[in-house]
Structures are given as structure tokens and as C-alpha cells.
Structure 1
């Protein structure tokens, strides 16, 4: 495996060229100074927007500021991420953050001002200033919130309570990340040592069942001990959500959360109903897992150990990139040619080195290009990560190229579609390429099943938990440790099937999920995943219309609401069809895995 001790040892071709953003730090400083000047100028509009021309002047200046602010933030983030120990990079990052705070303070007046207008006045402004046509769609999308905005004095009061209302999430983050102490486990020398999250992720996949059991017990120990405290905290978060929704006049906390993307609640309901109606293949997989592990009783700490040993295949970065180009060929020559240029033009920071941020991400910088961070390790897992992130990068590239700044950013609801389409195309390509390699084929099938389980079924189970807990709060039913434990355990049983024998810790699983403090978010992982599978399988069937529509989708940014953009690809999430199509693919994959 290719490794480098120091960043200077990494070939230039495998490192970002940040001069694409700024040729020098002096240039960065100039933009930072401009952002601060913009903040002062924008603040001066407060109380002085009374016609179309002034409204346009504010919006135009705000967009110019946002362009430079994104560049300023991106540059400091990239510098920090390539070496998190770099004190100078941290200083620049702090300056960028301070500028962001000043901008937020300077522009905080605008949304309350806009929503204080009546519809006729806004229409008059747009008629008298034709240049507002560029901003018109954005203005009306913001104006949708008007029925749910309170009187100025009430809004100011809620604003002052903002920090207090966010206390449950802040408390949980501090508790979960700083204060929790896991139990003890036995190290390789027979000594008892404290469990860490990093240790847990490895030990829960260990072939030795006793190692897994010990890690599981140690990991859940603090969540069991703090059950009442965390339950009280989550209940406060849920009650805050439901109370704010009621105050603003929404039907429910869920409808308030879905309002921004214009998602009907029946999309959420279709997702849950279709998953439950097609749960049997997941239960079958649980049975297969029990059989392949050869255990008398399947327990939760048996659910993460790989059923197929990791394929120790050395895949160089260039080999992985070339394979990706082959796998994604059905997307057409333009897609492949652009993707090939990403490697040549140094849009990707490839190698892990001391101090570099872990994981992987893509960030599309408008007016420049996407920047992709990897920690490539010459293995299959890294190959899939490469393909995943390049899906995001191509989405950013096409949206930024074809959309004006105001609609270039795509919504979270559709963000995972492009990355998952790429992964499905890759895995189908590799399955075909390794048709005569049974061990590799078995590994790939298991990889896809586990991805499906984690990205779809687990997220739907979480979404089900969120729905039911908020409905109980809205019905003024008690939310305490016992009720939360019982609900989570019943959902875990329903989703995983009768073969699983429960340890007491299972029911505490809800208490370790930070996403529950960002309510009604996780369902988007599942909707994005099934949408991508639906699109990818039609592409692999040779449907050129789907290819054309999918590429148009990648170019669309946020020019329409997410459901409408997906409908243009042939995916209608207001119906059960896309979920059921994905369920069929999952069922077929599980059946094939059982036979290999």
C-alpha cells in the first residue's frame, strides 16, 4: 500500500492546487477585507428598503458578498484540513468565522423585513424594478413562510430565546462528545483499558465473538447509566420542536420540518409504509447472518462483523480512477471527460498524511471548481469512497456551470442521489467484471447489502422513531426513559426480525443517536438512496432518456423544489413505486448472496 509520512512527500499531482482559489494569502486578505466592508454596507440598508431599486441593490450586494465569503471560508477550511495542526491556518479560519458572524448580524434584519411586507407591495417592487426578475423566484420561496411568521415583537422574543431553545442539542453534544466515559475492555496484553469510539468501530467487527460482546457492553454502559438524563433531554428537544410548530401555526413539527423543501408528509409516510411492507428480505438476511456465523443465538453485537473476509486487494489510486471511468461510462462522454480532468487538474487531495482531516468530502466552490478530500488507502473501501465523492463533485460541477449563483447549490434532499448512482454503477460493473471470481463477487454482494441496510433500513427505523415520538408529544403523552426505551426496542424488533435475541442494551440504542437533535433529517438518506437505485438501474438497462434526464438533473442545482427535480428523472416519491423498486433489488441481492 502506498503511504507517505509527510505531505511534502506526496506527488504534486495528488495534492490540491489552492492557487486556483487564491494566488497568495494577500489576495485572500483582500477578499476578507471586502467581506467586512460589504457587511457594513448591508447593515446600512436596515430600515431603508422602500422600493424595488433599493431592494435590488441590497440583494445584489448580498450576493456579491456571499460569493467572496464562500471563497474566504473555503480557503481556510482547506488549509486547516490538510494539516489540522497548522496554527496559522487555524488563525485564518478564526478570522473567516468572525467575518461570518459580522455578516450574519448585518443581514439579520432582512428576512423579518421581507415577511413584514404584504404580497401587493412585494409584487409592486418586482414590477417597478425589472432587474429583480433574477431574484424573484427566491423572494417568493422565502415569502412562503409568511403565514408562519409571528408579530415582530413575538419574533424578537423567540430570537432572544434562540440559545435557550437550542440547549438540549448543545447539552447532548457536550455529554456525548466530552463527558461520556465508556466501560473497560481487555487489550492485547490482557490489561483492562477504557473503551474509545475508535476502538469500538474496530472491535464490533472482530471475528472473536467475545471481543465483540465485551466491546458492545462497554460501549453501551454510559448510555444505560445516563438513561433518565438523556431521556429528559431528548424529551425537551421534542417538546421544543412541537411547541414551536404549534406557535407558528404548522400542523405538526414534522410538517414544519418538511415545509422548507416543499415535501408533503405523505412522502414520509410512503417511505415508512413501503419499508414495512417489504421488510421480509431484511429478516431473511438476518437469518442468513445467523447461519453463516454459526451461532445458536444471534445478538446485536453480531450484526456488524463482516460475513465475507475483507478482500485484501491492492488497488492503486490510478487503477481505482480508471476503473471508475469504466464503470461510469454509461453516463456519456462529456461526464467521463470532465471526470478525467478532475484528476489531471488537481481537484482532489488524495493521500492521508500526519495531521490531515480524516474521512472524505466534496465542496463545490462557485466560480472555481469542486474540491475533493480523500484519505486513499489502496483498497476496495477507498475505491468506493472515491466513486461516492466524485458523484458529489460532478453534481457540484454541473450545477455550478449551468446555474446562476442564486440556484447553484443543491438541497440536502437530493445530495446523496449523485453519489449513490455512482456507487451502484461501480458495484454492478465490478460484479460483472468478477463474474468468475466467487470470493470477490460474494464480498461485493455483502458490501451492497450492508450499505442498503445502513443507508435505507436503519435510517427509516430512525425516521419512524422520530415520527412516533413527536406524535406522542403532540398528543401530550408522556415521553420518559421507559416509553422511549419500549418504542425503540419494538421498532428494532420489527425491522430486524424474530431471529435476533435481545440483550438489555438494545432498547437504549436511541440515546446514542445525535441526529435525533436534528429532527426529520435522516429520512432524506433513505429517499436519496432509493431514488439513486431507481435511476441507476434504468441507466444500466440502456435507457438513454434516463441518462439525459439524469444529466439534466445534475445541472439543475436548486432551480426547483427537490421532488420536482426528481420527477424529471422518472422518480416520483409521492408514490410507493421508487421504494418498491429498490426493495426488489435488495430482495434479489439477498437471494443471490444466499446462494453464493
Structure 2
């Protein structure tokens, strides 16, 4: 299905209808889309009717919030239809035009409705809650209003907020410049590939090369990859420091104690969650050190270097996975989640929620479209019959089911979920899939390859992201304390931290100490820790589901249904996971030790 007989990618017409999206679930015709577009366009002017009146009567407040909801629902459906249509054929100018139109309309609506929160905050709290008591329809907004009031101390005057908004593009310059340098301007050297051909290094080729069994090739690409970053270290340190200082400006302007406090407060995440992750991982490096030692032994190396960390240990295992067969695998692997979950999966499988195959002009990669109120979520795939496709499928269906259950069970104000919990359902699905595949592997070699895959996943998603989080905290704190971060200081800090995580078997090459120059996530302001916490939460949930059965399944489904009706930390607690506790972090540590035990036992046979 990937290509026609002439080697060309298939067109949309070449793909069976049942393996494509049915965007008519959103709008039956383009005329209906245009009708809603016109309605939202007209709604922009109507926001002015509510301005300055929210504090007068409870009816005024309710009418405004309800109107904003109606606009939001239609706008999200307009956007969903336009974005899905665009992604099916990026060469279609008409689809791109619709996407641009709705994006511009969204900006206008954002500007027109921007008065709502500042005006809400001018209402005395006692009066606001009196409104809620008198107008029963306002009770649904209670948690939303509490969250708005929670940030009142860090909300500035209208004039100051206007200045902060004007400063936004300026504050974004370091990140934007880094993005342009990293994705467009950077020039990588050429090296010889495994067959002796000259190739120019790229981000994609670097990633693939690190899994190559040709060690000299890995080393050439590794050293070549870092060369331009090392050459431009002074430019990159200016971007790096400028980015940190922009977040310090924001934190100080809004009266936060630190950049980390300001970032985590957006989702009301206690600092102890971050500290618990970093501290517990620091107490449990043993499995990663053990993995490094085992890798070195299997690869028969005198020295283990960073370019040896991802190499495939069991390359002989090759197996193709058909999409239809993979659906059956998923239904079996996710059986522990119960009948209700499996029925919901079947609903997605049987009703064209998934666009499966690569076609001319289709967007690359994979995603789930998220919550769009009143419409089911969609999944984009680009199937190539590889094992990674099966895991991507499981991952995206985790997102899809999370969005589906949330939209089905929450009113519009809470029909979304925080990034803090966004990766939990997806990684739980991956964990269950891997356990199923390992348990049902036909050969020793297949089982070894699957165990290695999960060990690599823990290394990259859990330990590496925690290392990034610890480093990010360290460099922000040093800057806030007035310490100068030169390239030499940043390299020294990163090199020591890398060595601490990987342990005594690892030789830390000079190139590795420059990792701070090339990680885009360091520009995202305390974002990376959430990869590790989500991974840990999912592992703990899977342990509970397998141990307890239905009670844990019910908690998991309630987690999927909760949306943002509670703060994300509380949604997880209700599901049975306390991210302020070491327990979920230790669940990953224990899982890695179990996998290493299995690997060593198989190798000893």
C-alpha cells in the first residue's frame, strides 16, 4: 500500500475508503463550514456588547461566558475540519487557504474576548461567588473561576498586561533565533556512510546513525553533528542565556519567586512534584548504570561512549506488521483496560477516525487531533508495516481515547486536559503493548529485541528527560543568583551531570558536554520534566490495573473522563497516582530492573 508499481506514492483515490478519514462527521458540506465561519466572523463584533457589564448582574456574566462557549465550539470545529483537510494534501491551495482563514479568525476572536478575564478579576470575590449562588447556571464554571482567581496575584493592571503582551515577541527572539539556526542556517559537514559514500549530516540522519551497528560510522556522524554547535558556541550561549533572562523578566514582573515557580504555576503543579522526580531519580541511577555495563559487555567494547548508547544490540530481528493484524494486536494487548475501552477502540476502528496510509502530499508523522467539542477525535498515521508503526498506533490511540472520553463526559469548559497528563494514556498503551508482545514473542531473538526497545524507551523518555530537567533547573537558578554562564561553565555542568547519570562505564566525550547548545526543549521553559512524570504515572497505573483489575480500570477510565474538571495533579491522585510521592518514579526503576533481569536470563540460556 505504500507505493504504486511505478514507485510513486498512492493518491487519495488509491486508498480504500475505510482506511481514510471521514471529515464529513464534522461538516457534511463546505457550505455548512462557510455558514459557521460567517457566524463566528459576525460574533467577533458581539463581544463588545458584554464589555464593562460583567460585574453588573449575574445574568450578564453567564450570558458572556455562554456566548464565548458557543463561539469556542464552532471555532474548534472550523479549525479541526480545515486542519485535517490541509494535512491530507499539503499541496492543495484551497485547503491551505481555509486553514489560514480560520487561524486568522481565531486570532481576531482571541483579541475580541481578551477583556473577559481581566474584567472578571475586577469583580470582588464575595460578589462573584454571590453571583454563582444566585445564578444556578454559573455553578458549572466554579472550578474555572477558582483557577482564574488563583492567578490574580500574578495578573497585572490592564496597562501593564498590555506592555507584557507587547514585550512577548521580543522575549521570544532567543527561541526564534535558535529555531532558525537549528533548522535552517546550520551547516553540517559531510562524512562517509556505512558503504563509503559521502553524505551530508542532518538531524534525521544523526538519529538514524545512532542505531547503526557500524561503530566507526556512528562515531563519524556523532562528532560531525556537534562540530557546528561547538564552532558557534559563543552565539549559542547568547541565545541560551537570553532565553533564560526572558523568563526571569516574566517571573519578576509577575511577582513569582523563580522561573520554575512561574512555569509550574500555570497548571497549579507543586514544586515538590519536580523535586520528587529529580531527587528520586538521583537516588536510583543503578538500573541505568547496570544497562551501561551490560551494553558494553554485549557490544564487546573496551570503552563505552555516548555514540554507543542507542545502537541496536539485536539487529537480526526483522518482522512486518500489517495494519489489520495490528488492530487485532492492540485489542488483545489493551484487554486489561476492560470492555468499555475496547468497545471505544472498535468505534474508532470501524468509523473512519483513522487515516492510515501515506499518500501524495499527506503530512508526515502521526498525531491525534485532540478534543474538539461535539466531534470525535481523529488519528493520522503513515503506515510502513514496521514495529514502530504498531507502537505509534498504540500511542496515538491512547491520546485519541483520552480525548474521546473527555469530550463525551465533560461540559465545554473542562473538555480539555493539561500537558502534565497528556502523555499518560498514550504511554500506558505502549507499556501494555510491549508487555503483550514480549509475553507472546515466538523466538528468543524477538523477545530480546522487544526488551531492548523498552529499555531504550526508559533511557530516553525517563532518565534523559529527567537529566534535562535537572540541568534546566540548575542553569536557571545559577542565572537567577547572578552567576555568569559561559560556554565553559555550561559544558562543565552538563558533562558532570551526563557522567553522573550514566555512571562509571561511560566515557563522556567533549562533544557530549555541548548538548546544551542543541536541545530545543531548553527553550520551552520547564517543559521536559513532564515527559518523565507522565511516563512514571503511566507505569504506576499499568501496575495497578494488572494487580487490582476492575477497581483500577474504573479509576483509569475516570482519569480519561476527567478532562480539566480538577487540577491535573488531583486528576492523577484520583486515578491512584500521587506524583509528589516517590512511588510512581520507583515503578519505572523497578520495571527497568525487571527487564534487565529478563535480558540477562535470556542471554545466559
Under a length normalisation based on structure 2, what TM-score does the superposition of the two structures give? Answer: 0.95
Partner of 2:166: 160
Q: How does 1:183-194 map to 2 (within 5 A)?
A: 183-186=189-192, 190=196, 192-194=198-200
Give the length in aligned residue pairs: 595
How far off its partner does 1:189 sit?
7.3
Q: Distance in 2 between matches of 1:420 and 1:503?
A: 32
Q: Distance in 1 between matches of 2:212 and 2:130?
A: 67
Deviations 1:306-347 (A, max 9, x none): 112163212111110001101111211121112112111000
State whether structure 2 residue 383 is matched by structure 1 residue 379: no
Partner of 2:365: 359
State whether structure 2 residue 28 is matched by structure 1 residue 23: yes
Partner of 2:51: 46
Partner of 2:208: 202
How far off its partner does 1:438 sit?
0.5
How far off its partner does 1:135 sit?
1.8
Please tell me whether the aligned partners of residues 365 and 371 of structure 1 are also in contact (alpha carbons under 8 angstroms): no
Q: Distance in 2 between matches of 1:527 and 1:37?
A: 43
Partner of 1:444: 450
- SS of residue paired to 2:311: coil
Of 572-581 and 449-458, more deviation after overlay is shown by 572-581
Of 142-151 and 457-466, more deviation after overlay is shown by 142-151
Deviations 1:499-519 (A, max 9, x none): 111221111101111111111
Partner of 1:584: 590
Q: Distance in 1 between matches of 2:106 and 2:204?
A: 33
Q: Distance in 1 between matches of 2:533 and 2:204?
A: 29
State whether structure 2 residue 258 is matched by structure 1 residue 249: no
Q: 2:77 aligns with which of 67, 71, 77?
A: 71
- SS of residue paired to 1:108: coil
Q: Distance in 2 between matches of 1:490 and 1:46?
A: 55
- SS of residue paired to 1:185: strand
Q: Distance in 2 between matches of 1:269 and 1:580?
A: 14
Q: Distance in 1 between matches of 2:321 and 2:164?
A: 54
Partner of 2:576: 570
Please tell me whether the aligned partners of residues 194 and 217 of structure 2 are also in contact (alpha carbons under 8 angstroms): no
Q: 1:35 aligns with which of 37, 40, 44?
A: 40
How far off its partner does 1:440 sit?
0.9
Deviations 1:162-182 (A, max 9, x none): 211111111111111111111
Q: Distance in 1 between matches of 2:575 and 2:440?
A: 28
Query: Unmatched 5+ residue regions in structure 1?
Result: none
Partner of 1:408: 415
Partner of 2:333: 327
- SS of residue paired to 2:457: helix
Q: How does 1:116-515 map to 2 (within 5 A)?
A: 116-186=122-192, 190=196, 192-309=198-315, 311-363=317-369, 364-434=371-441, 437-515=443-521
Please tell me whether the aligned partners of residues 194 and 214 of structure 2 are also in contact (alpha carbons under 8 angstroms): no
Please tell me whether the aligned partners of residues 183 and 217 of structure 1 are also in contact (alpha carbons under 8 angstroms): no
Deviations 1:397-425 (A, max 9, x none): 11111111111111111111111111111
Q: Distance in 2 between matches of 1:105 and 1:400?
A: 26
Partner of 1:90: 96
Please tell me whether the aligned partners of residues 26 and 77 of structure 2 are also in contact (alpha carbons under 8 angstroms): yes
Compared CA separation, residues 569 and 186, structure 1 to 2 (3 A) = same
Please tell me whether the aligned partners of residues 425 and 540 of structure 1 are also in contact (alpha carbons under 8 angstroms): no
Deviations 1:532-574 (A, max 9, x none): 1111122122432111111111111111111111112221111
Please tell me whether the aligned partners of residues 232 and 481 of structure 1 are also in contact (alpha carbons under 8 angstroms): no
How far off its partner does 1:191 sit?
5.2
How far off its partner does 1:235 sit?
0.8
How far off its partner does 1:34 sit?
1.3
State whether structure 2 residue 10 is matched by structure 1 residue 13: no
Please tell me whether the aligned partners of residues 79 and 99 of structure 2 are also in contact (alpha carbons under 8 angstroms): yes
Query: Unmatched 5+ residue regions in structure 2?
Result: none
Give the alignment's Cα RMSD to 1 decimal: 1.6
Of 192-201 and 63-72, more deviation after overlay is shown by 192-201
- SS of residue paired to 2:211: coil
Of 346-355 and 537-546, more deviation after overlay is shown by 537-546
Under a length normalisation based on structure 1, what TM-score does the superposition of the two structures give? Answer: 0.97
Partner of 2:86: 80
How far off its partner does 1:190 sit?
4.8
How far off its partner does 1:279 sit?
0.6
How far off its partner does 1:187 sit?
5.1
- SS of residue paired to 2:317: coil
Deviations 1:61-111 (A, max 9, x none): 111011011111111111111121222111111111110111111112222
How far off its partner does 1:152 sit?
3.0
Deviations 1:271-290 (A, max 9, x none): 00111111111011111111
Partner of 1:560: 566
Please tell me whether the aligned partners of residues 2 and 358 of structure 2 are also in contact (alpha carbons under 8 angstroms): no
Please tell me whether the aligned partners of residues 379 and 396 of structure 2 are also in contact (alpha carbons under 8 angstroms): yes
- SS of residue paired to 2:598: helix
Q: Distance in 1 between matches of 2:223 and 2:151?
A: 47
Q: Distance in 2 between matches of 1:585 and 1:34?
A: 53
Please tell me whether the aligned partners of residues 231 and 511 of structure 1 are also in contact (alpha carbons under 8 angstroms): yes
